[in-house]
Structure 1
Amino acid sequence: MAEKTRKIIKRKIKFVLDPLKKYIQDQEFRMRATYTKFLERKPIKEKTILYEAYHGQSMTGNSYAVFKYLMNHPVYKNYTHVWALKDENTVHEEYKNKRNVIIVKPRSRKYNNYLATAKYLINDTTFPYYFQKRKEQIYTNIWHGTPLKHMGLDIKNRGLTDHRNIQHNFLYTDFMVNPNKFTYETLLKSHDVYNIYSGYVMDTGYPRIDLMFNADKDAIRKKLSIPEGKKVILYAPTWRGKLNSKNDMSETLMHEMDKLKNDVNDEYIILLKTHYYAYEFFKKNGLSHLCVPNSMDTNELLSIVDILITDYSSIFFDYLPKRKPVIFYAYDAEEYEFNRGMYIDMEDLPGPFCKDFNSVVSNINNIDNVTLKYKERYEYFINKFNYNDDGNATKRLVETIFEGKSLNNCFKTCTNKIKILIYCGGFFNNGITTSVTNLLNNIDYNKYDVTAVDYGNDNRKEKWENLAKINKNVSVLYRVGTWNAKLFEWCRHRLLLRRGAYTDFMKKVMPSEMYEREMKRLIGQSAFDIGIDFSGYSPFWTTLFAFGDFKKRSIYLHNDMVEQANKKVNNKYPHRNNLKVVFSLYRLFDKVVSVSKLTNEQNIKNFSDIIDNYQTKMDFVINNINYNKTLELKEIKKTLKIENHIYLLSKNEYSKSNINLSGFEIPKDDNINFINIGRLEPEKDQEKLLYAFSEIVKIKQNTKLYIVGQGALKGYLEKLVKSLDLEDHVIFTGQISNPYALLDYCDCFVLSSNHEGQPMVLLEALILDKPIIVTNIPGSRSVVEGGYGTIVDNSIQGLVDGMTKFISGQQMNEKTFDYKEYSKQAINMFYDKICSLK
């Protein structure tokens, strides 16, 4: 007894000390905790502006253009101007001793202080993932170029969630400043936020292009030691090297610069504007005089350029208003197009497209002909992309953002539709995924904007394959980073995860403000009318939806949830701890929704004592189906014939060098073919089915049982088949992307489950008009009762009786399933019970 007491005390001490240990040892956690304190306790600095450009790499670009304008403006020159810079040496000389110009290192304590308190925030890329704008702050995002290369979701061969932090920043942006319509549409759509972006779009031009119009050309030429009378060629390639092979591209650039110097008319001075790595290489080789310093603003530099050579950089868009020639050099265009993708074909750009450097030199030496040849296309590009470039873009920005003047070309893209935010689950291969995919395909997108939220940090192939199946009208927000939480909040959160919120003490202790903050960090300033935790299994998402700012909150119960909590797999309870927390939060939802009438009745018995007003809160909405897809997929039967045996392919992967096929022999007409589809988990109870099937084989030798699915019990079930001598009769197919082709081949569907919500596979079997046998449990009974299938006792003998009935030729389904009428009923129930805001 003493030993047990010691263990309990030790466990409690560890529970108390772990958060403190985390705070001391985890710098990121400590930084976020401090930033959160700044957010909540520090007052807003009304006359302070925080600027950031290229993640703190330089004092250049759009942010610099706004800064320079304000520093020379009588009203704003005495504001406090804070620059986030990694290297103080990049500060322009004229600002180094200004008392009201402050330099902070990104992600430092001082930086986070200003990030949380500066009234005005200006960035040309993104603030860190933990950034969370306060209502009083004004965030202006002026992206660093017109996109030529694919962005966000459009990038080929991309990391599927690489755009998460850009998405996060856009949702906090008050003013998105753009040079043209193409840019704002591309940025918002490629980052999947066009319909939910709540800030203003300013189609007013980039401030940085004003720098090109207004630059002191003589001072720039003098700084770069350019002799009077000399013309300037600027070579500005995109960096395409790798950290471990920097010299490869740098040496190539050096040879190209030599060629330009030797083969181009000496009336030109050649300058190179390149990446930091290449610049360091040139510096080490005593050639830094050929490179433009990284601290020099590119647009001010463009003011003295007579010919621009570039590749995939959007620098040429900025240069177009000068109406001077551009030469495009991209030796790796095909590879780049394959890996990244382009919005504009290189052949369609307003200048010659060269794949080798000799062509570049040749075009320079014939520049008059080049100018004449591309004049018409050049003007087309200016009219499409540069219609705002008149040198006054910064003035328009300041008048709108700082002075509150309204502009005709300042507007919102956010629609007035009812907005739904939904967590769909982990997108595992299961009924929940099928159900939510069908729901999202059936919603009326003329009336609703739907946004799904997801962790976005899971590389499982099945997840991304399932996610790709959801309706393209659905926006997907991916969580980037983690909680902004104070130490004591984290302690209270851990206590909730341990105990749930059942007692009055825990209801007061749980850190609701932490959950509200995290939901806001996720969705930014977007407003949603309806929040739906469709999964209902994750404490993280349940807490966020329970405390999110919605007009109506709903949570789904896809099963007899107490049975799910008591589910045991390999001597462990996979859902017990999570569901203990989730159950305690049901009371905070407006609707606690089961997926069938009978399942709802069972859940009411279990939860009526912890849900206030359960009579109105607890309800049911039947699962949606996609009958067109089911009927379509049943016809897609990929087969392969080998030695008079026909195989149905479950995997069909191939490349140029190899092929990877797997499958199983198709059901034969002279056999009686039963099929079971479901996870190989205890609640599906394929063990009971196999024992029953072994009795059927004794009666009828020409019977087969196809078991479709994966799960924790696969190994056990395979051993059971062997011990029952059923190896010639039972076929484990594994998970297959299109089970409907096999289901169509089979004769009878058998579901042996011990508990279900409303099985999607039963609805799909009914769509294909298959005879059905189910065990007598509420979820399955709710689908087939009334003549749509045969209900048997939930036992081995019950299943034996049902399969024997089928073998003897007795009728299994008395009625035909009207799947069209069912589909209408399902979506209308969703609208009435989940979406109604009355």
Structure 2
Amino acid sequence: MKLKDIYKRIKVTILNSYYSYYYYNIELNKKLILVESKSGGDLAGNMFHILLELSKPEYEDYNVYLSVLESKFVSIQNQLDKYSIKNVKMIRTNSYNYYKYLAMAKYLFTDTAFNRSYVKKEGQIITNTWHGTPLKKMGRDVDDRAYAIGNVQRNLLFADYLIYPNDYMKEKMIDAYMLKNLYDGTILNEGYPRNSVFFHKEIGEDIKRELGLEDKQVFIYMPTWRGTLVKKNTEHLLAVTEYQLRPLDKELKDNQVLYVKLHPFVSKDVDYSKYEHIKPYPDQYDTYEFMNMCDCLITDYSSVFYDFANTRKKIILFAYDETEYLRERGLYVPLNSLPFPVVKSVKDLVYELNSPKNYDDTQFLNECCTYDSPGAAGRICKHVIKGEKECREEKLPKNGKDIVIIFDSALAKNGLTTSLLNLFNNIDLKKRNYIVTFNEQALRKAPLRVAQIPEEVDIYPMSSGESFTLLEAIAYILYFKLNKENGFTEKYLERLYKREWKKQFGVVHFDYAIQFAGYEKKVINLFQRFEGHKSIYVHSDMVAEMKTRDNQHYLTLKNAYQKYDKVAVITRDIVPPTLEISGREDNIVVVSNCHAHKEVICKSKEPLAFDADTKCNITEQELKEILATDKKKFITIGRFSPEKGHMMLMKAFEKFSAKYRDVYLIIIGGHGVLYNQTLEYANNSEENIIIIKSIKNPMPVLKQCNFFILSSYYEGLGLTLLEADALGIPTMSTDIPGPQGFVRDHGGYLVEASEDGLEKGMIAFMKGVVKAMNVDYDKYNRKAVEQFDSLFK
């Protein structure tokens, strides 16, 4: 590890220790208020107007702190000075003082989310105003970003008060962040603090006089930021912006001025000196007070028009790149359904700027500006801080069903994910409220995996790793790295993971927690601290896992299997190794994995197609031609890992091929440490061995094969064995705990887990001895669902 990484870890650990000291030892200060706008990067909109309210004499006995990024100190201080806000102290975001006040403040206000380390302290009152009525899709509604909503989601669920200026926004936010049945706080149906300014025309008139614009027609252009934090693409955005502004400047009249407010990434590079009628937005003014001066708003996909509509002035949507933009980001409502004119060219934009408002926005105002009115900030602060019931309160109704949170690791292309999806395909999803959680970081490179989860099942990503204190870090190293278990490690790991549960899931009440993956020692320890009924799945022979792959932590498994209420093994064959680890038998139950046999049959009928990330040692066309022949095709499906026995299988196949020619062996896997080694062996072999890595739907390949082989050294059950059987394909398995019970029960074929055993099985197939099991999977699944339901008894 590099020195800078070590330094960073030490610094973070010291910060966490400092924060935890105040979290555990210092009482809340009832007169302390912490305000944060966009993670400290701004002071605008709702948070600015909340601060204006808190600067009034009636709050002079409160200590108000504003979280500000160091790079913003000067500009925000200038803004505070301009508006004579004197009783606010700025603190650097993520500094020692920031964490101190984060743990001490009785009242916290934000328009987005506090950082990922924040743990809500009992007694703290959080108000989240959010930062705009959504036009663009958000939360789970954005497929490639749904995996990363965890920090925002938990902050919304933490909040004691959520502010919604209209029912449309309330509905979209609740659905997109899946707050139904989880949120216990109070919704305030109240106007946005920032929008109150639109009901005071004199504020805009004062700015107009101050800027010497009394005889001018003033427009403001506020386009949406089109980049991302990862892919800024500022050069292209700058070129496109200037391409639009140059002809627009020439068409504007001398009595017209256009102010442009762009994202800072772009605006800093725009040379406004070459324009005669176009000027940069003067950032010493509050955005909303400045907009109040303007005669017309020009925007595109920005939700700012929901706010500006309160002025009853004209709004123009300049959507020159609508088709391109919508390919990357969807909208909740199509632009042409809004009352405002939509233009695609500078020529049409100029025409609309010189035309009076000629549309009726009455219905839009009723639906989207419902609660906006003067004095919103005052009512909110009195309601939240003074306890005066100034705002319309609402509680979200709940359906009264049990809430079950289920962990499933990275939702990768593997048996664990298949098992979970099969479960969801068979259980009654309306019987309980199911929520799937996973580590956000694990899906960063494959965000679309979230789309596999049925819409009826909510998601709740875990947005960060552990936040250690110094003593907890020592206990962690002793326990996980050195396998030391004593009073010290127990005390500090207990404290760590109880706090981590509060950090991730806060005040949300779950009735049941299921560690479905059964792997990942950190999450096993986290779920073990859930204060409710908890179950953990065992999908494999964990004794063999530790011997073969060394990928499990014995102390973690031992304590989990002893302390979870139920330990769900997926076949009776893996009860003995599980019992060997825990020494406790009374909490072990058999819960078979469901099998989506109907879906397997449907998928097998789809055309064979490689995916963008599929790798194969022959072409797709060559594979199709081989599958279409009458030659025998043997197949196995499983990750490229030691326990799957692929090397043993290939060697057995080479021996078999000396007796039987023109037979193919196909090995399909999603990932695994042995992929390169497996591929190299296959390519160097003189036999017909085909290696396929990462194919989303392998069923069309499986359907056209003659014989399925499960060659594992150890296994949970091996759902691919069931998939082959569902397609009527003869199967055989090595005689190992996991599949052996299932295969014996259904008259299947078992062989010794060796090259000789596999070769004999192949020969037996060629002689017609091995047949399909033809299991009744409807009956099998009914029993599996009954077993799953036993976890809730």
Opposite residue 789 of structure 2, the aligned amino acid is Y
Counterpart of 2:428 (choices 441, 444, 458) is 444
Question: Which SS does the other structure have where 2:586 is aligned?
Answer: helix
Residue 299 of structure 1 deviates from its aligned partner by: 2.3
For 1:684 and 1:46, the matched residues in 2 are separated by: 60
The corresponding residue for 1:349 is 338
Match for 1:535 among 505, 514, 517?
517
Q: What's the CA shift for 1:801?
A: 3.7
Q: Deviations 1:478-530 (Å, cap 9, x if unpaired)? A: 333433221111111111112446x4446635521111112222223222221
Query: Within the alignment, does 1:633 sit opposite 2:603 as a pair?
Result: yes
- Once the two structures are TM-superposed, the CA of residue 114 in structure 1 deviates from its matched residue by 1.9
Q: Are residues 1:494 and 2:467 paired?
A: no
Give the match for residue 760 of structure 1: 719
Structure 1 residues 464 and 819 mapped into 2: Cα distance closer, same or farther (>3 Å)? farther
Aligned ranges 1:579-618 → 2 under 5 Å: 579-604=554-579, 606-609=580-583, 614-618=584-588
Q: CA deviation at 1:826?
A: 0.8
| Structure 1 equivalent of residue 153 of structure 2 | 167
Whether 1:472 and 2:450 are equivalent positions in the alignment is: no
Q: How does 1:58-69 map to 2 (within 5 A)?
A: 58-69=42-53
Q: Secondary structure at the match of 2:537?
A: strand
Q: How big is the shift at 1:32?
A: 3.0
The answer as to 2:164 corresponding to 1:178 is yes
Partner residue of 1:423?
407
Alpha-carbon distance change, 587 to 325 in structure 1, aligned in 2, over 3 angstroms: same
Contact 1:130 1:482 (8 Å CA) reproduced: no
Of residues 211, 215, 223, the one that matches 2:197 is: 211
The residue type paired with residue 20 of structure 2 is T
The Cα shift of 1:139 comes to: 1.0
1:233/1:271 contact within 8 Å kept = yes
Alignment partners' CA distance in 1, 2:750 and 2:225: 67
- Alignment partner for residue 152 of structure 1, among 139, 158, 173? 139
Change (3 A) 1:278 1:579: same
What's the offset of the Cα at 1:433? 2.1
Confirm or deny: 8 A CA contact 1:666 1:745 kept in the other structure: no
CA contact (8 A) 2:654 2:687 kept: no
Which whole-Å CA distance do the structure 1 matches of 2:31 and 2:217 have between them? Answer: 43
Contact kept in structure 1, 2:188 and 2:392, CA below 8 Å: no
Give 3-state SS (helix, strand or coil) of 1:144's partner. coil
Distance 1:248 1:819 in 2: 60
Measure how far apart 1:561 and its partner are. 0.7
Question: How many angstroms apart in 1 are the aligned matches of 2:263 and 2:447?
Answer: 34
Deviation of the 1:249 alpha carbon: 6.2
User: Aligned residue for 1:45?
Assistant: 29
**Equivalent residue number for residue 389 of structure 2:** 405
**1:466 shift after superposition:** 4.6
After superposition, the Cα gap between the structure-2 partners of 1:810 and 1:56, relative to the gap in structure 1 and judged at 3 Å, is: closer
Distance of 1:244 and 1:718 partners within structure 2: 43
Question: What is the root-mean-square deviation in Å for CA atoms of aligned residues?
Answer: 3.4
Question: Matches of residues 261-272 of structure 1 in structure 2 within 5 Å?
Answer: 262-263=252-253, 266=255, 270-272=258-260
**Structure 1 alignment gaps of length 5 or more:** 1-13, 568-572, 639-648
Alignment match, 1:221: 207
**2:317 corresponding residue in structure 1:** 328
The 8 Å contact of residues 181 and 396 in structure 2, kept in 1 or not, is answered as no
Q: Is 1:681 matched with 2:641?
A: yes
Task: Select 2:284's aligned residue among 286, 295, 302.
Answer: 295
Q: Distance in 2 between matches of 1:172 and 1:278?
A: 34
**Counterpart-to-counterpart distance in 1, 2:755 and 2:268:** 76
Instruction: Identify which of 128, 146, 160 aligns with 1:141.
Output: 128
CA distance in 1, matches of 2:213, 2:683: 89
| Mapped contact 2:541–2:715 kept (Cα < 8 A) | yes
CA contact (8 A) 1:652 1:662 kept: no
Change (3 A) 1:302 1:705: closer
Matches within 5 A, 1:176-325: 176-214=162-200, 216-217=202-203, 220-221=206-207, 224-228=210-214, 231-240=217-226, 245=235, 248=239, 251=242, 255=246, 258-259=249-250, 262-263=252-253, 266=255, 270-276=258-264, 280=268, 285=273, 290-325=279-314
Q: State the Cα distance separating 1:566 from its structure 2 match.
A: 0.4
Percent identity (aligned): 28
The change in CA–CA distance for 1:575 and 1:597 in structure 2 (over 3 A counts) is same
Task: State the Cα distance separating 1:66 from its structure 2 match.
Answer: 2.6
Q: For 1:468, what is the secondary structure of its paired residue?
A: helix
The structure 1 residue matched to 2:527, chosen from 532, 545, 569, is 545
**1:645 matched to which residue of 2?**
none
**2:440 pairs with 1:456:** yes
Cα offset for 1:716?
4.7
Correspondence for 1:827: 785
Question: Normalised by the size of structure 1, how large is the TM-score?
Answer: 0.84
How far 1:58 moved relative to its partner?
4.0
Are residues 1:511 and 2:496 paired? no
CA deviations on 1:599-632 (whole Å, 9 max, x unpaired) are 113422x1243xxxx2221222111111221110
Cα distance in 2 for residues equivalent to 1:540 and 1:667:
44
8 Å contact from structure 1 (residues 147, 183) kept in 2:
yes
AA aligned opposite 1:741? P
When residues 330 and 586 of structure 1 are mapped into structure 2, their CA distance, relative to the original with a 3 A threshold, is: same
Alignment-mate amino acid for residue 475 of structure 2: R
Quick check: 1:652–1:661 contact (8 Å CA) kept in 2? no
Distance 2:562 2:622 in 1: 48
Q: Which of 767, 772, 784 in structure 1 is aligned with 2:743?
A: 784
Aligned counterparts, 1:688-767, within 5 A: 688-709=648-669, 711-714=672-675, 716-717=677-678, 726-728=686-688, 730-767=689-726
How far 1:143 sits from its partner (Å)?
1.3
Residue pair 2:127, 2:160 contacting (<8 A) in 1 also: yes
Rate the CA distance shift 1:39–1:56 in 2: closer, same or farther, 3 A: same
Shift of 1:421: 1.6
- Which entry has the higher C-alpha Rg, 1 or 2? 1
Q: Tell me what 1:5 maps to.
A: none
- Write the distance in 2 (CA, Å) between the matches of 1:707 and 1:20: 43
CA contact (8 A) 1:792 1:802 kept: yes
The TM-score normalised by the length of structure 2 is 0.89
Q: Structure 1 CA distance, aligned partners of 2:745 and 2:132?
A: 63
CA contact (8 A) 1:207 1:393 kept: yes
In the TM superposition, what is the alpha-carbon distance from 1:467 to its structure 2 partner?
4.0
| Deviation (angstroms), 1:464 | 4.6
CA separation of 1:227/1:533 partners in 2, compared to 1, >3 Å: closer, same or farther? closer
Alpha-carbon deviation of 1:185?
2.5
- The DSSP-based 3-state class of the residue aligned with 1:478 is coil
1:78-132 C-alpha deviation (Å, 9 max, x unpaired):
3222222332443445688766322222222222222221111111122222222
Cα deviation digits, residues 721-762 of structure 1 (max 9, x gap): 678x6514x333344322222222222222222221212112
Cα–Cα, structure 1 residues 207 and 21, in superposed 2: closer, same or farther, change >3 Å? Answer: closer
Q: In the TM superposition, what is the alpha-carbon distance from 1:443 to its structure 2 partner?
A: 3.3
Change (3 A) 1:822 1:417: same
Whether the aligned pair in 1 keeps the contact of 2:537 and 2:568 (CA below 8 Å) is yes
Partner of 2:775: 817
